[in-house]
A = this chain, B = another copy of it.
Amino acid sequence: MITTTNPATGVVADTSMAPTDPADVDAIARAAGDASLDLQARGREWRATLLDAMAAAAERHRAELVGTAAAETGLTEARLNGELSRSAFQFSLFAEAVREGSMFEAMIDHAADTPLGAAPDVRRLLVSVGAVAVFGSSNFPFAFSVLGGDVASAIAAGSAVVAKAHGSHPETSRLSFEVLREAAAEVGAPAATFGIVYGQAAGVTLVQHPSIAAVGFTGSLGAASALRAAIDTRPDPIPFYGELSSVNPLIVTPGAVAARSDEIAAGLFAAVTGSAGQLCTKPGIAFIPDGAEGQLLVDALARLTEQAEAQVLLNSRIRDSYHDITARLKDAGGDVLATGAPGGLGDAFDVSPTILSTLAAELTSELSEECFGPLVVLARYSDLDTVASAFLEVPRSLTATVHAEDDELAALAPLVELLQRNVGRVVFNGYPTGVRVSWAQQHGGPWPATNSLHTSVGVTAMRRFLRPIAWQNAPQSLLPAELRDGPLTVPTRVDGVLRLP
């Protein structure tokens, strides 16, 4: 039987769900493969309607979803309400994008005499890859789980989805799945548009199934590696999109610290401790100038930390890992600058917020290990060259952040170029947490941040689940609607020229 644990009390309870057996996984995956063909065939407008229904269903079941997730994750209801809004918004945004249609990259090259001779009519559109398996993360029970962006982007692409329920929030996963099934029923989608499996073994069977055409994953490098090994046993390689690991270095310049050390201390503290520091975009290393003004920022951050409550982590594995990594960081030369209220006094999975300190000139890869939870390493530096050198010890990340004043920008250009090379998003005078869901967002980065050249947040996340097909000299009746002659229905490149409908 699958169990569920309340991290705020440590109480373990049985659920009504059993690990999904291999025969059931097989049936679910097959049905998803068939449902994908159906979703593709029904076209864009219908899929947008389905996405809108998903958004509405999530909103309709808000109270139940938030209550269930709160009990399973220890996250606050305020945070979970915000996250559910974000989930619903994602479905709506993908509905808009599917209606607008750019993401399907319609192109028409009419037959022509070219420098290479007579050329046939060729028309191209992106279509669904087929059914997608989604493995959500522990830290976003909605926005990166069964009601999350991977699911929304896959449906937008025209793929049915089979989610693997997360072991840290199985009841939230089940309830989310039922909400999606309800949305599917409302618009007459095949029931198999959404499937769910429970248990690690079922997850492995799922990614090995011939009907699964791609995998979306958010989680640890270790879990990704195990899943990758399972996928590699397939005769056919399939894309595996993993959002994996990120240290998110943040740099405060001398000018910024002189201008607003208290403000940055407060912002950094919030970014490090929000959601108990369990965000893939949490700043894990902050480079702070070593002079007196830098010290003001450090002192302000220490004061905030010392006043902080212990924070409940999502599960015992993350709690244990927090202790283990904190110990390793100390061994590697991280001095304890401040801690909050001690955790671990009762049965809750709570820990103490912690600030470690080191010299940037002495930063090592050991001191740059990602620590999931409310911990940050401050690296004090004397000049920007030292930051640039130290930065090379930091694993490539989802984000890098710079706090700087306008008169410093010219001197910062080489450093910013270095950051760009090693991350997917560069943030100025803000914080990398609170990832905006929009067209231009990029939530991904060079390995080990992610393992692909794509984003898992924002509209372009759809691209992961789309593949191109070209039709050569095709009769009108056998072309997708978007490629037929007549008024354009989507932005289309016609004979090399991009045209709007």
| Assembled-state Cα–Cα distance A121/B235 (Å) | 44
| Assembled-state Cα–Cα distance A343/B239 (Å) | 43
Minimal Cβ-Cβ distance residue in B for A495: B439
Q: Is A493's CB within 8 Å of the partner chain B?
A: yes
| Assembled-state Cα–Cα distance A200/B360 (Å) | 43
Question: Of A8-16, A122-130, A181-189, A298-306, which binds chain B?
Answer: A122-130
Q: Is the CB of B439 within 8 A of A109?
A: yes
A67-114, CB < 8 A from B: 82, 85-86, 89, 96, 100, 102, 105, 107-109, 114
A403-421, CB < 8 A from B: 406, 409-410, 412-413, 416-417, 420-421
Encode contact with B along A439-483: 1 for CB under 8 Å, 0 otherwise: 111101011100111110000100000111111111101100000
CB distance from A27 to the nearest CB of B (A): 20
Q: Is the CB of B478 within 8 A of A412?
A: yes
23 A–B pairs (Cβ distance < 8 Å), ordered by A:
A37-B421, A41-B417, A82-B116, A86-B116, A102-B493, A107-B439, A109-B439, A119-B438, A120-B436, A124-B460, A236-B446, A236-B448, A409-B478, A416-B478, A428-B474, A432-B472, A438-B496, A439-B493, A439-B496, A441-B470, A442-B469, A442-B470, A500-B500
Q: Is the CB of B109 within 8 A of A469?
A: no
Encode contact with B along A477-501: 1 for CB under 8 Å, 0 otherwise: 1100000000000010100101010
Q: Is A425's CB within 8 Å of the partner chain B?
A: yes
| Assembled-state Cα–Cα distance A220/B426 (Å) | 40
Minimal Cβ-Cβ distance residue in B for A448: B236
List of B residues within 8 angstroms of A448 by Cβ: 236
Partner of A425, one of B441, B452, B455, B472: B472
Q: Is the CB of B120 within 8 A of A426?
A: no
Q: Is the CB of A453 within 8 A of B436?
A: no
Q: Is the CB of A438 within 8 A of B109?
A: yes
Interface centre among A119, A429, A438 (most CB of B within 10 A): A438
List of B residues within 8 angstroms of A473 by Cβ: 427-430
List of B residues within 8 angstroms of A440 by Cβ: 107-109, 122-124, 470, 493
**7 smallest beta-carbon distances between A and B, as pairs:** A442-B470, A107-B440, A124-B440, A236-B447, A425-B470, A427-B472, A109-B438
- Kindly list 13 other residue pairs between chains A and B, CB separation below 8 angstroms, not including A82-B116, A85-B115, A96-B496: A108-B440, A122-B438, A122-B440, A237-B447, A237-B451, A406-B475, A409-B475, A413-B477, A424-B470, A426-B472, A440-B493, A444-B468, A455-B468
